Every structure is written in C-alpha cells, then in structure tokens.
Structure 1
Amino acid sequence: MIGRLRGTLLEKQPPEILLEVNGVGYEIKLPMSCFYELGDVDKEVIIYTHFVVREDAQLLYGFNNKMERLMFRELIKVNGVGPKLGLAILSGMTANQFAHCVEHDDINSLIKLPGVGKKTAERLLVEMRDRLKNWVTQDLFTPEADKAQLQGYGNTASNAIEEAEEALVGLGYKPAQVAKMIKQVAQPSMSCEEIIRLSLRATLQN
C-alpha cells in the first residue's frame, strides 16, 4: 500500500497531478478541495495517498492531510459510492463541510453534488452519521482562504476556461451545467483553479 509520497510537483492538471519521487513520476488524482492548497509547480509537496487496484487499472488518490483521506475512505465504504464519486463529493466541499452536512441532515447541499441523487444523499446521511460522531467540523472556506493567491499556469483566459470545463465534466457535472457554472463566475484574469473553485461554490449556494 502506498500511503504517503514526498516529491517534486511536476504538473498540475485538475484534478490530477504528476509527482516525481526519486525519479519516478506518480499520477495522482486529488479532490479539488485539496488541489487548491497545492504549491507551485517544481515545489516539494507531501501527499497522503489511497491506492486502488482494479482489474484494468491501478489508481492513486491523493490528499493534503490524513483527515481528508480518512473522510474519503469512509465515503467509499458507503454502498454505491466508489472512488470517483468520493472524489467528486470532496471536490464540491471539504471533509469538514461534508461532516457539517451530515451533522445537520443537510440533504439539499448533498444533492447539488454531481452523481448524488436523493437516494444516495439519504444513504450518505444515514450511513455516515455514526462514523462521523466525533468529527470536529469547521468551515475551511474562510474569508482568509479566499484571499490567498491561487496559482495559475500562465495560460490564456480561454485555456483556463477550457481546462476548468474539462475538470468539472471529469468530476461528473454535465457539459451544459458546466457551461452555466463557469459563465456565472469566470473573469479574464482568473486561473483554471480559481474558476473551478468559484464554480463549485456557486453551485452549492444556488
């Protein structure tokens, strides 16, 4: 089991990164809630990982801390929730925000996430309630976090929008929905990450 990697961040293409560790490049998928916190390309980072082995693929999912990884592992234990949906859930909200939804039976916020219908949301609330009894919730999307500079790729605005669209579709949102989400928030000076971040937040607030 690969549980932790420390290396140089070579590429960032939401929601995937390429991390070089001792000459080996690891492709790792991160929820956007973790992706936002990554440093610049060519910087050293530490990623906590969850390794998934399937018949047709071996996949690494990454997280900035053990608590985010723990939430992911609890999510994929829920009937009908696989790694892809777990990644989408933690892209739309942080682990603490999800725990807050469970604590307050906030089904309306959950059904706004891609791939989460009413039945899945109800199942998440029921099955996760006991598992998250001792989880300390707080909102990680604070004003201070909003003020932090989000690193782009030096791309043009059109490329940033295209990359954001591709990432959101990959998370499970429908193309028409993605176009509407991005249209509401995108500005010429925004990076791909910032467009994704604000699009996801606007979806939860609507």
Structure 2
Amino acid sequence: MIGKLSGVIAEKSPPQVLIDVQGVGYEVDVPMSTFFNLPGLGEKTSLLTHLSIREDAHVLFGFLTAEERNTFRLLIKISGVGPKMALSLLSGMSVGDLAQTVAKQEAGRLVKVPGIGKKTAERLLLELKGKLSPDLALPVSVANDAQADILQALVALGYSEKEAGTALKSLPPDVGVSEGIKLAMKHLS
C-alpha cells in the first residue's frame, strides 16, 4: 500500500496531479480542496495517499491532511459511495462542513454536490452519524488576514486545522505572515 508520496509537482490538471518521485511519475487524483492548496509546478510537495485497486486499474488518491484521507476512507466504506463520489464530495465541501452537515442532519447540503441524490444523501447522513469528530465542525477563528494566511500555510504543510489553530493561539496578534509561520512551526515541533 502506498501511504504517502513526497516529490515534485510535474503536472497539474484538475482533479489530477503528477508527482515526480525520484524519476517515477505518480498520477494522483485529489479533491479540489487539496488541489488549490498545492504549490506550483516544479515545487516539492507531500501527499497522504489511498490506493484503490480495481480489476481494470490501480488509482491513487492524494490528500494534504490526515482528516481528509480519513474522511475519504469513511466515505468509501458506505454502500453506493465509490472513490470518485467520495472525491466529489470532498471537493464540494470541506471536512469541517461535512461534519457540520452530518451533525445537523442537513441532506439538502449534500444533494447540492454533483453525483449525490436524495437517497445517497440520506444514507450518508445515517452512516456518518457519530463517526465524524465534532471538533472538525468548529472553524478555527482568525483575527486578521495574516493569521488566515498562516493557518492556510500550516495546513498546506501537512498540519491539521486543529494543530494549526492551536499554534495560531500562541502567536502575538500583530505578527507578520513569514515570521508567524516560523513561530507556529517552532511551536508545533
């Protein structure tokens, strides 16, 4: 099982990226939340992965955070939800939004995601009830644009939103983005 890839981004074509790992190119399907937080072409990145094996293909799915990958794995265990639908769901809403939707039992929000009908939405709400952490539904509060940029950078570096939020609380309120990222990473290590 391939659990993680670290390499250089060779190509980006939504929802797929090509990661060059020491001369071997891996095609990885990613949710749009991960896609938009990836660095540019030629830059290094690290993705947590899930390998799906079918009769006709081996498909790698990549995620920037463990929460996304864990939620993806929860979703594909549900009858009628395959990897492509799970990817579509994670592209249509964040893990926090999904946790909040499940907690409030809002089928209407799930139906808005392409490929999910009323019956599938109801099945998702039933199957996911109690399985998604309520902490994921609580958004991390940011005081200004600099803190929002710091939070986004930490999540892109592979820290969970919860870890990044904890690190943000330890920073002085008027810190700049680059200094804030350095201080937050020092706090997290």
1:12 corresponds to which letter in structure 2? K
Q: CA deviation at 1:134?
A: 4.9
Q: Secondary structure at the match of 1:126?
A: helix
- The 1:48/1:133 distance shift into structure 2, 3 A limit, reads closer
2:56 corresponds to which letter in structure 1? D
CA distance in 1, matches of 2:76, 2:138: 22
- The 1:144/1:113 distance shift into structure 2, 3 A limit, reads farther
CA distance in 1, matches of 2:135, 2:78: 17
Q: TM-score, normalised by structure 1?
A: 0.67
2:95 corresponds to: 95
CA distance in 1, matches of 2:116, 2:145: 29
- Structure 2 stretches of 5 or more lacking a match? 150-189
1:58 corresponds to which letter in structure 2? H
CA distance in 1, matches of 2:129, 2:135: 10
1:166 corresponds to: none
CA distance in 1, matches of 2:119, 2:37: 32
CA distance in 1, matches of 2:27, 2:64: 15
Q: Secondary structure at the match of 2:97?
A: helix
CA distance in 1, matches of 2:47, 2:19: 9
Contact 2:100/2:134 (<8 A) preserved: no
2:31 corresponds to: 31
CA distance in 2, matches of 1:90, 1:62: 12
Q: Secondary structure at the match of 1:136?
A: helix
CA distance in 1, matches of 2:131, 2:26: 31
Q: How does 1:16-165 map to 2 (within 5 A)?
A: 16-139=16-139, 144=145
- Structure 1 stretches of 5 or more lacking a match? 149-206
Q: CA deviation at 1:95?
A: 1.1
Q: CA deviation at 1:17?
A: 0.2
**How high is the sequence identity, in percent, across the aligned residues?**
45
Q: Spell out, residue by residue over 1:15-48, the C-alpha distance to the aligned partner (whole angstroms, 9 max, x if none).
A: 0000000110000000001111001110000000
Could you say which structure has the larger radius of gyration? 2
